[in-house]
Amino acid sequence: MEEIKETTGIVTERKFKTREEIQEQERQNALDNWKPKTALGRKIREGKVKNVDEILELPILEEQIVDLLLPTTSDLLLVGQSKGKFGGGKRRAWKQTQRKTIDGNVPSFSCGVIVGDKNGHVGLGFGKAKETLPAREKALRRAKLNVIKVTRGCASFDCLCSEPHTVPFIVEGKCGSSVVRLIPAPQGTGLVIGDECKKILKLAGIKDIYSKTFGQTRSTINLGKACIEALKKTNKEIKK
């Protein structure tokens, strides 16, 4: 949004920052003033470690570690549903629950966030708080701490491009009753999977996939976790 003011015959322009720009600036300021509390954080702050793949097997306890080593983008999972007649409300990012107390109903909000660099790294996190923005900040922090590496390849029987655009072999992940099976696909196929899992695969850098889902697939949280579990198995070696 731009506002034009005229004072003493001089026209000046002022640009108002959006909420996302303000939050990004606050994160950058916090990153510049970050004082690491762990040995791993101190190594990265000193520049001794520059590749995120070297530390993914270690426990990451500070989100600034991922911010320094991995330029990520984020997206929200639609885990909730707005109020509507006969349960027909639209899907939304916030899942609202409430508990009964002596003082009345106490609501709480939860959400899911995905982070990734679209080049073989992705993370999923969930957060819960009394307000929506703190819940998103919790989920974003946990997603950065849960970043995993995704091995990509070209394993479809009718594609010989040898470019990393799909999974290297068939993988399957399970969470609760939700099961997600990812199958290699040739170039140009696209992401043949549900919308929420599509967000995860896009941020992981996968462009083509076939899929099958089993169980209770309406549970977005379990479906997202099952997709992440399937992507973790891409790092395993193929048994000959």
The model's pLDDT over 98-129, given as tens digits with 9 standing for 90+, comes to 999 998 999 999 999 999 999 999 999 999 99
CA–CA dist 88, 193 (Å, integer): 23
Residue 240's pLDDT band (cuts 50, 70, 90): very low
Residue 143's pLDDT band (cuts 50, 70, 90): very high
Domains of the chain (ranges, CATH numbers): 15-69 (no CATH), 73-148 (3.30.160.20), 151-235 (3.30.230.10)
CA–CA dist 143, 151 (Å, integer): 19
> Is pLDDT of 87 > 80?
no
pTM metric for this prediction:
0.85
Using CB atoms within 10 Å of the CB of residue 201, give its burial: 0 to 12 exposed, 13 to 18 middle, 19+ buried. Answer: buried
pLDDT score recorded for residue 131: 92
pLDDT score recorded for residue 160: 79
> Is pLDDT of 79 > 80?
yes
Residue 8's pLDDT band (cuts 50, 70, 90): low
